[in-house]
Amino acid sequence: MSKKYEKLAQDIVEKVGGSENVSTLTHCMTRLRFALNDNSKADQNALKSFDGVIDAIESGGQFQVVIGTHVEDVYKEVIKHLKPNMSSSEEPTDARKVSVLGKLIDFISGTFSPIVPAIAGAGMIKAVLALLILFKWISKDSQTYYVVSLMSDAIFYFLPFLLAYSAANKLKCSPVLALVLAGILLHPNLTQLRLDGNAVSVFGIPLTLVSYSSSVVPILLIVWSQSYIESMFKKIIPNAVKIIFVPMCTILVAGILALTVLGPLGSFFGTYLAMGFDLLGAHGSWLVIFLVATFWPILVMFGLHHNIVPLSIAQITTSGYENILGPGAMINCIGQGVAALVVGMRTKDKALKQISASSGITALMGITEPALYGVNLPKRYPLVAGMIGAAIGGLYAGVMDVSRYATGASGIPAIPLYIGENIWNLYNILIALVITTVVTAALTYLLSLKYEKDLPAQNPVASTDEVSAVPDEVIAIKDSVITTPIKGQIIPLQDVQDAAFAAEAMGKGIAIEPSEGKVIAPFDGKIVSLFPKKHAMGLLSDEGVEILIHVGLNTVKLNGKYFEAFVEEGQRITKGQTLITFDLEKIRQEGYVTQTPIIVTNSYSYSDVIPETSQQNVDFVNTLLVVKA
């Protein structure tokens, strides 16, 4: 079967920089995972353009080529084109050298990503308050405003706690000790010492007393130092007393270092960062908004958009407003969403109409990846139209100095974030969105007259034999109900922290944050693929539904640790039968995201795949997906 992928394999090796550029190669359930000697030699755009390649992503220290559930067949052909001494073991490696800047960016973005939803939620509370005041339903002097406002402000005041926990998980040191160090910075007694204004020292070392509430840089420096200090004490302290003396020594040494050197240094840096924001706002904010609005899709494609989030949060905590990310990203979402919707109205491809409609609406709500990967990027002309429309809207917003006063969503729901003292700030963002909508819609329509003319029906994501778990078996397709294979909390697929899954590149579906480490059969059928690391499997129901269950993200790196499989590839299964068990807490302690995508990999064979939305938590007996023939 793998022979038909020989040409694809040859092209992939060529575009990752040739055999000599490949240090190691492994594969998981859906993607080839390369460790390259030099990532700059890989032609990411060329790889994405190949028939049979869904996406190409640089993530987790690896260069990943997303293939689909038939990845093993492609893998067998790829290794034939690699040098004989290249490692192709199943154990991934991060042996390639990463620059200091690359490590810093990875640390900062990896620290902020987990806390962004909480910050966005608090920001949206501020937006609700702004609406209530605007319509005079409450006043700023009311107790309701006072209490709800402190709810939204709490996350910013105690931001060092959230950053401490997240940074410690990223650096693989103790999150609890990191929280203790954050507590030292925000302790009321330290605050009182600062307010008293007297000189303070510890062991004769003078302290520079500054305010650490809402700060960002100090705690990042402190947890970074903790990772080395804690590791050092773990090596030198005997095992019999580690449980007591490692925490004691880490808190004492890191705490003193925090108060005497790192905390004040971080505060000093933060002060000048705030001055930089003020300078940018006075002389160049219009250019930033224009550039972000125009090139946001490019940032998303290269995964660079997450790196702007820390600057956005730092600006809102130091200046009280934000215009680095918010206005430009919001205008872009509208542009890409409108472009996708116009494609849906113009195309003759029924499957593309459906994808365009759903992904276009999702983009208007602030999530552009489904529209970007599923419609605009494959078609190209809507991507260009959306970028031009966003550029013109962004230019207007920049010239009018539009800002938002809280962080939150990037689509239509974020409009209340722009309500402030000057009501024209709200009017100007609305005008910018109208400009973007009109220009994008007109330009997409005009381009569609050329590019949608006499086009044959096509699947913009993948052909049947590219994603099917069992391409050689033909089963009559009919309506099916898929019950829940794993207990936990429902997560919309677009919210999964993996671009390929979130963009529905491998099919429609849903995800679950597990509450129990067990996967059961959601139907009668058979196991068509079981990855050796036991973290993922492909199932085929007797009714013809092919699903992929992928426990966690990047959990292939665990090399099967914490997983146990109770079935084999090709085995018949019955509904309710235990398929896999896994140690949920230990996987989380290792720092892995445990979101579990459940994908209908032959979605293209059905008219619709409807995920469960009526309840937040699901049990084994609940309906998860309804598949319409």
Q: Which residues contact 99 (CB under 8 A, 6 or more apart)?
A: none
Rounded to whole angstroms, the Cα distance separating 502 from 587 reads: 22
DSSP 87: B
Put residue 278 in one of left, alpha, beta given phi > 0 → left and psi -120 to 50 → alpha: alpha
As a whole number of Å, the end-to-end CA separation of the chain is 28
Rounded to whole angstroms, the Cα distance separating 436 from 456 reads: 30
Rounded to whole angstroms, the Cα distance separating 309 from 111 reads: 11
Three-state secondary structure string covering 233-252:
HHHHCCHHHHHHHHHHHHHH
Token pair 């359930």 in the structure block, residue: 29
| Per-residue CA distances from 480 to 43, 118, 343 (Å) | 41, 36, 30
Under 8 Å between Cβ of 516 and 500: no
Under 8 Å between Cβ of 525 and 579: no
Q: Which two tokens stand for residue 358?
A: 């759903």
Put residue 570 in one of left, alpha, beta given phi > 0 → left and psi -120 to 50 → alpha: left
Q: Which two tokens stand for residue 529?
A: 């693929």
Q: Which residues are 623's β-sheet partners? A: 483
DSSP 488: E
Rounded to whole angstroms, the Cα distance separating 364 from 494 reads: 13
Q: Which residues contact 306 (CB under 8 A, 6 or more apart)?
A: 109, 112, 113
**Residues identified as active-site:** 28, 550
DSSP 540: E
Under 8 Å between Cβ of 388 and 280: no
Burial class (CB in 10 A: 0-12, 13-18, 19+), 129: buried
Buried b (16+ CB within 10 A) or exposed e, 525-553: bbbbbbbebbbbbbbbbebbbbbbbbbbb
3-state DSSP assignment of residue 208 = coil
Rounded to whole angstroms, the Cα distance separating 348 from 334 reads: 23
**CB-side exposure of 532: number of CA atoms within 13 Å?**
8
Chain centre distance of CA 478 = 34
